[in-house]
Structures are given as structure tokens and as C-alpha cells.
Amino acid sequence: MSRESMEYDVVIIGGGPSGLSTAIKLKQLDPNLNVCLLEKASEIGAHILSGNVFETRALDELLPNWKELNSPIKTKVTKEKFLFLGKTKSLSWPTWLLPAVQQNHKNYIISLANLCRWLAEQAEALGVEIFPGFPASEILYNEDGSVKGVATQDMGIDKEGNKKDSFEPGIELLGKVTVFAEGCRGHLGKQLIEKFELNKSKDPQQYGIGFKEIWEIEDKNHEEGLVMHTAGWPLDNSTYGGSFMYHAENKQVFLGYVIGLDYKNPHLSPYDEFQRFKTHPAIKKIIEGGKRISYGARALIEGGFQSLPKMFMPGALLVGCDAGTLNMPKIKGSHTAMKSGMIAAETINEHFQEKKDLSIFEEKFKNSWLHKELYEARNVKPSFSWGLILGIIFTGIDQILFRGKLPFTLKHKHADHETLKPANKMPKIDYPKYDNVITFDKTSSVYLTGTNHAENQPVHLKLKDPDLPINYTLEKFNEPAQLYCPAGVYEVQKENNINKFVINSQNCIHCKTCDIKEPSQNITWVTPEGSGGPRYGNM
Amino acid sequence: MKILVAVKRVIDYNVQIRVKEDGSGVVTDNVKMSTNPPDDNAIEEAVKIKELGKATEVVAITVGEEKAQETVRKALAVGADRGIHVKVDGILEPLAVSKILQKVVDKEKPDLVFMGKQAIDDDCNQTGQMLSALLNWPQATFASKIDVKENKLEVTREIDEGLETIEINIPAIVTCDLRLNEPRYASLPNIMKAKKKPIEEIAASDLGVDVSPRLEQLKVEEPPKRKAGIKVANVAELVQKLKNEAKVI
């Protein structure tokens, strides 16, 4: 089938912090470049979900006058707390004893979605063409194997794959250089990493699933600028995770929970851990009397330095968490994603101006503060594979005494899909019932995401083997997709005593957890029709 | 033949609406906005009629704040030829919109005016009817099928009893139902082209229309939450409860 094609100097896939920073930096370096940016969400920001305590380092370099440009960066961090939670008690950890990377007094509490909307305005003002609602679904290659560009998804295909009256074929977007900035577990980035063996001799990538709710709370409980993190309950010593609570403007708190996807117990439900976390007295007293106004979830990168793939390949670059630039001990990925995009832009500019190879990215990266930051952070996450307590002790030594300069590098041993133990060997977990005041069921949570996919389109969650969920995964692992999916997409239903695996793909909130955690890697997330997915506001 | 199509920017239909704490309205900050869905049907129908060779120009118009222009741009991307944006800030009632449209119709002299049957934000379902009265043009509301004939329209309407087919003379107003057609997607090249199509900006004050609200809004509040149901053991108990507690029988 022939498709229309459009040519650009640079095609960028993804309108998050890394993609938008690439676009802005490119136009700053050379205003004559033709740059376009594709985004699968219905508008920029609608698929962005992040804590977020923002470090301005990269933005200071990209747009030094951001304070004069009416940026949505307003709430300075004024106070910090770190709590260890027991089942009912909590122990406050003095902040001066926290590693420097976890101190936030120079940072801001922001909505990353709003920051991206604002960055998109800056990019458009510089002449970047931004196309929301157009997922890149396919990578195009030149005859020599280099990346040629991408094709957007066909629109108007029915469930059986037939063209509807509204059929609109995809477009080929050809770039002299293509930049992939899809975020964590990008479905094209995943293909590139495999094809170009970008992760050769690297540790397996590590992921987490992050939940976030926005609450409007009572005045007396709100302390604008307060940043609080917790570790401990409800997770056991061997499961990596913790919470965040950021008091933002307008009486809102951003409340969230992150759990490492290397958890072992298939009976663990990340969603329910988050819900019951909110019932802890130290948390409940803050949100009680308030109202939950948003919910969402997204997988995030935790592998860091050891797992970071090569970020260049013939004709293309991989930036932000599509590669994996998040700094785990800092619990921040926005400034690092932005910086990686800026380095990509500098690389591309020299590639065009001085005919240098894209591989100069590597040297530029190595000479940047981004590299230094990720290197020094590298040993924290793997040390938690020894459990929470040893992890904290090691991290104290590594981060406070040696500031990340210990002369060895710990390894990530397993990919997250390999860590589940058989269901019959692991304890069942009895989660409390939802009270519809503090805790809520998945359905009403998903409702808040505003997610939707046009009806009667092909299912965008592909099973390599459609029988595997029932024939193998259900028996061995109790089909954990029912639990790890934060949107209730996967269900095992009994019909006439026969188990059936049901995929409610219209509920999908594009978090990518299934693509990561499925023990046999049987589920592949592909792009649905454009504009599908959540409609996050200030997430 | 020229068709003028009115489009409105509203909160996206997938978004859960939240009422402001002070009851002064609904929250629109950080909320995804889109074109009012039946307005998309109106644009689609106008473009289809043009593609059939029965119309020569499709003009999209919106009335509203700066960002409302996005809806006109979207209409241009799916086939409208040019756009008009009448700029007004603040609350707009259907009567004010109809009066503005009347002025624009006087100037543009279209043969047909299409719009959605109602907007999903205020559900007023008045603008088309009021415009019809102001212009003294025939109207066909809730159209689910439109046939363009010689100086006439044959319109099938969705009414309570089923379908009603009427014939009206052109010029006319038609308000469109969701069943009228399936709106097309804007293709990427067409979005690009739409960026170059002209949008005329008019200040409402230049049209000499008084847009000040005629209604006083007292309070906006959420519908009461449904209370949890109870289970009854048998029919007798149900009847007893309906009679004595609910007092409905």
C-alpha cells in the first residue's frame, strides 16, 4: 500500500520532556531546520504522569529566562520529611541524614504535564511542528539498514482489520535524523534496542510501576511546598518501593506510590498496595476530608547507568526514558530526560553542520553532568535487592560517605519478567475492602483518567500465544496481569466453567506494565488509534 | 451554494466534569477541550455536500475566547475552506451567539447554516432555533439525514416518535444529530494545509451585539450521590418497604 510521505530534517517521536527539549534546542541551534514532533495523546501533556519535584538544572540551560516566560514552575520546596512506616507507627528520619541527592530545597513541585504543555508552546513559537493525536506505529529503514523515519498509525480500521468509511491511511515521516523519545518502554524504542543490539553487554533494564492521585485537601492539612517520602509499610522488606506526597498549589497534594517491577509474589497487587498505603494513620490524617480528583499510573525506568543502552544508531537517537535516563536515588527523571534531549540536539546539529557521525553523542554524553549524575547513582537500586534495611545502610555508605564514588558497580541480575515465583509457593495477600472515601476500586479510578479508545478498533495489546494466559500463566502464576495492570484491562472470566482471558483494551492507560512484567513476555503493547488513552490534566 | 458551520469549544466528552468548590461553575483549568461532538457532524456533512458538488464553499465559525480558534482550525483540517473567529471572553449565552451569527450571516450571505443540535457543556439546544427566528429562515433540527435538492432540503429528523422527514426551502438552518454521519479524521497533511488557511478574526463589539448575559447563575452543584441500595428477602418485604418507607405505592 502506498502512503503519502513528508520529509523533515528531524522527526521526533514523543512530546515529553526529552522530545520537547530536543526540539527546542535544535531550533535554537539552527532556526532553519525543519523539525516535527509526533505525540500519540490527544494533546501534549495528556499522557504525561510524574511526581513531580523538579530540578531546574537542564531547564536553566535550555531556557535561562524561564521565570519570565510564565512557566508553570511556581511552588518552591519549603520543607522535607522522610518517614519509615510501620503498620501503624511512623518514624521520621532527619533530613540532614539524607544523601544530598535526596535533598530538594532548591527544587520545585510541578505538574510535568503542564510543564510539557508550556514547553510545547515554546517549541511551536520557535517553529517546531507538533502533531498530537498521531502515534508513530512503525519504524522505516533505508536499504543500508539505517533508520529512515516512521509511519503513523492507520486510522479507521475495525476490529477485524477492515477499513471503515472513515479510513485514513498513515503517513510516512522521513527524517534525516529520527529521535525516539517515547518514554519508558517505548514500543518503537524496544524494537530499536533489539535490532541494533543497543543493550549489548548492559544489565537487563529495571522498571517500576508508579501510581499517582491528586487530592484536594482541607486547608488545615495543606502545607504548600512540603515534600514527603516514605518507605516501609505496606511493602515487605524484600519488595522495593515507596511513596511520595507533594503539597502543590491550590490546596492540592500529589500522592503516589512506586513499586519495583522485580517483585516476586504473583499475588501482590501494586494497585492495592497503593490503596492500602493511604490508610496508614500518617497519610490518612492528611487526605481525610479531602477529595480525590485524579488518578493514573505509568511504568518508569529504574535500571540507571548499568542498564542504559547505547543511545545512537545509524540515522537515529534514543533519548530520555525511551533509553532510561531516570536517576533512581534522586527519584527524578525530568531534568535528565531534558538534558539527554539537549545533547541529542547538539549532536544532530554537528552532524548536519560538520558531517560528524551521530556516534559523537557518546562522547558528549560522557562529558556531561548527566553522565556524572547517573554514574554516581548507579549502586543504589541494585543494593536494594538485598532488602530494604541492607539497601538503606549500603546507600548511606555509598551516597553520603563516598558520594557514589565507590570503585565497583553492582549488577542488576534479572529482568523484571523473570522474578515471579510460582503462585502456589508464595503467600496470598489479603487486601482490605475499598471504603470509597480513602480507597477506591479500579473501575472508579480508571474513570478519573478519562481514558478512551475509539470503539471497534483492533485490540492494541497483542498476545504472541493467545492460549498461554489460560494454559500456563493462570495455573503457574495465577495470571498476574489481573493484578499488575493498574486499569483492570486483563480479566480471567469463567464461562460455563471454562476460563477465558479477557482484554478490555479500551481501559488501557498506556502504562506499559504488561509489556514489561508478563512472565513469558507474551503481551506486546502496540499503539492504538491516535488520540486514544488517558486524558490527564495536571498529572 | 455556501454553507456556514458553527462550532463550539467544550470540555472533551471523556473528561469527568468537576464542579468548582465555590459553586461558581465547573473546572476548566488543565482540562482537555475539544470540538462539541455534534458540531463535528455538522462540519462533516457540509464537507460531504461540497464533495458531491452541491456546495462551493464551507466556512467554519466559532464564537468564544482566544483558544476557541482551535476548533475552527480543526474544521479547516477536515475540509472547511476558511474560518471566522468572533472573539468574546466570558460567559456566552445562546441568544448572544445567535445574534452574532445573525450579523455574520448578513455579511457572509450563506445559503445554509449548520451546527450541532446542542452543545454538551450547557445542553441548551437553543442557538439554532433562535437564529432561525432572528433570520426568519426555516429550520430543521436534530437532522440525521440531509438530501440537498433544487433550492430545497429534504431532512430526516430524530424525534420522540421515530423519524420524521420534512422538506424545507433554502436558505435554512439545520442542527445536526450524532447519527447524521461519521466524522472523518484529520490527516496529517491536511492539518498542515489547515495551518495556512485563513481565519478572519472579528471582535464581537465590532458587530454591535450586546453579549452580556441575560441569566443570573445562582449556583452550580454536583448531582446528589446515589445512596447504596439494600437487599430485601422477599416480595412481601419489598412491597412493604415501597409502601411504608419509600411511600411510592
What is the three-class DSSP state of A452? strand
Share of chain B above pLDDT 90, in %: 86
Give one DSSP letter per residue of A484-538, joined into a string: H-TT--EEEEEETTEEEEEE-GGG--S--HHHHH-TT--EEE---STT-B---S-
pLDDT for A396:
83
Cell of residue B236, nine digits:
412481601
More confident of the two residues A104 and A284: A284
Q: How confident is the model at residue B9 (pLDDT cuts 50, 70, 90)?
A: very high
Nearest chain A residue to B18, by CA: A293
Query: Best mutation site among B188, B192, B193, B221 for testing chain A: the one with the most A CBs within 10 Å?
Result: B188
Cell of A231: 518507605
pLDDT of residue B247: 86
> Which of A43, A155, A293 lies nearest to residue B18, judging by beta carbons?
A293
Cell numbers given for A130? 507538533
Q: Name the band, by pLDDT with cuts 50, 70 and 90, for residue A94.
A: confident
In one-letter notation, the amino acid at residue A290 is G
Which residue carries 534479572 as its cell? A414
Closest CA to A343 of A179, A186, A195, A194: A179
Asked whether A489 and A510 are in contact (CB, 8 A), the reply is no
- Any chain A CB within 8 A of the CB of B187? yes
pLDDT of residue A385: 85
* Chain A residues lying within 8 Å of B228, measured CB to CB: none
Quick check: helix, strand or coil at residue B248? coil
Cα gap A327→A372, rounded to integer Å: 11
* Residues of chain A contacting residue B18, judged by C-beta atoms under 8 Å apart: 293
Question: Looking at this protein, which amino acid is placed at residue A69?
Answer: L
The three three-digit cell numbers of residue B217, written as one number = 447563575
Would you state the pLDDT for residue A476? 97
Chain B positions in Cβ-Cβ contact with residue A535 (cut-off 8 Å): 12, 14-15, 32
* Pairwise CA distance, residues A119 & A122, whole Å: 5
Average pLDDT for B130-141: 98
pLDDT digits (tens, 9 = 90+) for A1-37: 578 999 999 999 999 999 999 999 999 999 999 999 9
Q: Does A46 touch chain B (CB under 8 A)?
A: yes
Determine the pLDDT at residue A101: 75
Is A121 among the domain residues? yes
Subunit contact A156:B185, Cβ cutoff 8 A = yes
pLDDT at B225: 81
Q: Which three cell numbers stand for residue A153?
A: 498509525
Classified as helix, coil or strand, A18 is helix
Query: Looking at residue A1, what is its pLDDT?
Result: 56
- Specify the residue for cell string 471503515: A164
The alpha carbon of residue A447 and the mean position of all alpha carbons in its chain are separated, in whole angstroms, by: 20
* Mean pLDDT on B123-144: 97
CA distance linking residue A379 with residue A29, whole number of Å: 36
Q: Is the pLDDT of residue A456 over 90?
A: no
Q: Which residues of chain B neighbour A510 with C-beta distances below 8 Å?
A: none
Comparing A215-229, A374-388, B198-212, which segment has the lowest mean pLDDT? Answer: A374-388
Domain enclosing residue A317, as ranges: 5-67+113-202+305-376
Give the burial class of A492: count Cβ atoms within 10 A of its Cβ; 0-12 exposed, 13-18 middle, 19 or more buried: middle
Query: Is the minimum CB–CB distance between B12 and chain A shorter than 8 Å?
Result: yes
| Length in residues, chain B | 249
Compare all CA atoms of chain A with the CA of B186 and give the residue at the minimum distance: A168
Chain centroid to CA B145: how far?
A: 17
Residues A123 and A22: beta-carbon distance below 8 Å = no
**DSSP letter at A397?**
I
Under 8 Å between Cβ of B115 and B5: yes
Closest chain B residue to A155, measured at CA: B185
List the grid coordinates of A393.
545502610
Among the ranges given (A232-241, A432-441, B106-115), the one the predictor scored with the smallest mean pLDDT: A232-241
- Which chain B residues touch A448 with a CB distance below 8 Å? 16
A168 contact B CB<8A: yes
pLDDT in tens, A76-89: 999 999 999 999 88
Q: Among A164, A216, A535, select the one facing B14 at the smallest CB separation.
A: A535
Would you say A217 and A286 are in contact if contact means Cβ atoms under 8 Å apart?
yes
Q: Do B14 and A451 touch (CB under 8 A)?
A: yes
Distance of CA B242 to the CA centre of its chain: 42
Q: B51-80: buried (b, 16+ CB within 10 Å) or exposed (e) per residue?
A: eeeebebbbbbbbbeeebbbbbbbbbbbbb
Give me the pLDDT at residue A454, please: 85
**Which of helix, strand or coil describes residue A479?**
coil
For A413-432, write each residue's pLDDT tens digit.
899 999 999 999 999 999 99
Q: Taking Cα atoms as reference points, which of A416, A459, A486 lies closest to residue A211? A: A486
Residue A51: closest CA among A256, A311, A199: A256
CATH number, residue A348 = 3.50.50.60
In a mutational test of the A interface, the residue from B11, B13, B14, B47 whose CB has the highest number of chain A CBs within 10 Å is B14
Across the interface, whether the CB atoms of A535 and B32 are under 8 A apart is answered: yes
**Is residue A277 within 8 Å of residue A183, measured between CB atoms?**
no
Per-residue pLDDT averaged across B1-11, rounded?
A: 97
DSSP states of B69-122 as a string? Answer: HHHHHHHHHTT--EEEEEE--S---HHHHHHHHHHHHHHH--SEEEEESS-TTT
In chain A, % of residues over pLDDT 90:
86
- Looking at residues A289-298, what average pLDDT do you find? 96
Confidence of residue A402 (pLDDT cuts 50, 70, 90): confident
Q: Is residue A235 part of a domain?
A: no
Dihedral of alpha carbons B130, B135, B136, B141, sign:
negative
| Res. B54 pLDDT band, cuts 50 70 90 | very high
Using an 8 Å Cβ cutoff, are A258 and A208 in contact? yes
Q: What is the mean pLDDT of residues A440-464?
A: 94
Say if residue A265's pLDDT is above 70: yes
> What's the whole-model pTM score?
0.93
Distance from CA of B118 to the nearest CA of A (A): 22
**Which grid coordinates are listed for A22?**
530536543
pLDDT of residue A401: 81
pLDDT score recorded for residue B245? 86
What count of other Cβ atoms lies within 10 Å of the Cβ of residue A406? Answer: 16
B41 touches chain A (CB under 8 A): no
Q: How far does CA A178 lie from the centroid of its chain?
A: 21
pLDDT computed for residue B223 by the predictor: 87
Split into its structural domains, chain A has a count of 1
Average pLDDT in the A336-341 region?
98
Does some domain include residue A43?
Answer: yes
CB A183 within 8 A of CB A14: yes
Once rounded to an integer, what is the mean pLDDT over residues B111-130?
97
Closest Cβ opposite residue A155 in set B18, B34, B185: B185
Pairwise CA distance, residues A131 & A163, whole Å: 23
Distances in Å between the Cα of B153 and the Cα atoms of A202, B126, B147, B169 are 69, 21, 6, 6
CB contacts < 8 A, A to B, total 56
Backbone angles phi, psi at A393, to 5 degrees: -65, -45
Q: How far is B192 from chain A (nearest CA, A)?
A: 9
The C-alpha cell of A214 is what?
Answer: 491528586
Strand partners, A259: A209, A241
| Cβ under 8 Å to B: A residues 280-319 | 293
Query: Cell numbers of A142, please?
Result: 533505508
CB B78 within 8 A of CB B43: yes
Q: Cβ–Cβ of B30/A171 closer than 8 Å?
A: no
Inside any domain, residue A283: no
| Closest-CA residue to A78 (of A44, A54, A104) | A104
Amino acid identity, position B18: R
Is A40 a residue whose pLDDT tops 60?
A: yes
HEC string of A160-179 equals: CCCEEEEEECCCEEEEEEEE
Q: pLDDT value at position A384?
A: 86
Q: What percent of chain A has pLDDT over 70?
A: 100
d(CA B92, CA B18): 20
The 8-class DSSP code of residue A408 comes to -
Out of 3.40.50.620, 3.30.365.10, 2.60.40.10, 1.20.1730.10, which CATH number does the structure's domain B2-244 have?
3.40.50.620
Whether chain A has a CB inside 8 Å of the CB on B244: the answer is no
Nearest chain A residue to B29 by CA: give it: A537
| Distance between CA atoms of residues A251 and A219, nearest Å | 7
Distance to chain A for B34, nearest Cα, Å? 9
State how far residue A259 is from chain B, nearest Cα, in angstroms: 28
Q: pLDDT digit string (tens) for A157-199?
A: 999 889 988 888 999 999 999 999 999 999 999 999 999 999 9
Measured between alpha carbons, how far is B110 from B59 in angstroms, rounded to an integer?
9
Q: Mean pLDDT highest for which of A114-118, B28-32, B242-246?
A: A114-118
pLDDT digits (tens, 9 = 90+) for B198-237: 999 999 989 999 999 999 989 999 888 877 788 899 999 9
The CB-side HSE value for A527 (13 A sphere, CA atoms) comes to 30
Choose among B12, B30, B187: nearest Cβ to A114.
B30
Q: Which of A4, A168, A293 lies nearest to residue B185, judging by beta carbons?
A: A168
Closest chain A C-alpha to B146 CA, distance in angstroms: 18
CB A263 within 8 A of CB A385: no
Query: Which residues of chain A lie closer than 8 angstroms to B12, CB-CB?
Result: 42, 450, 535
